[in-house]
Amino acid sequence: MVSFPLGATDCTPQEIVCGLKPFCYDVITEMERHTILVDVSHLNDEGFYDMAKVAGRPFIGSLSNCR
């Protein structure tokens, strides 16, 4: 399982209004190819929905709340 906020700055997730960077799509594809589980816990809303669109396998939110 891997969780990483690629391209994140020193902001809270609510202050970051962009989704995943293009490089992230390649990383996700490669992780899925190696059956590595992607953790979306530290993504902002846009990043989460980008991940949901691109995911070809299940992913996890290990530190997520009920929001």
pLDDT > 70? residue 6: no
Residue 32: both structure tokens together: 């899925």
42-53: pLDDT as tens digits: 888 888 899 999
24-46: pLDDT as tens digits: 899 999 999 999 999 988 888 88
Distance CA 37, CA 34 (A): 9
- Residues forming beta bridges with residue 2, ordered by sequence position: 38
Inter-CA distances, 44 with 35, 37, 58, Å: 23, 18, 18
- Which among 5, 1, 3 has a CA at the least distance from the CA of 46? 5
pTM as predicted: 0.69
Q: At what angle do helices 45-54 and 22-33 cross, to 10 degrees?
A: 50
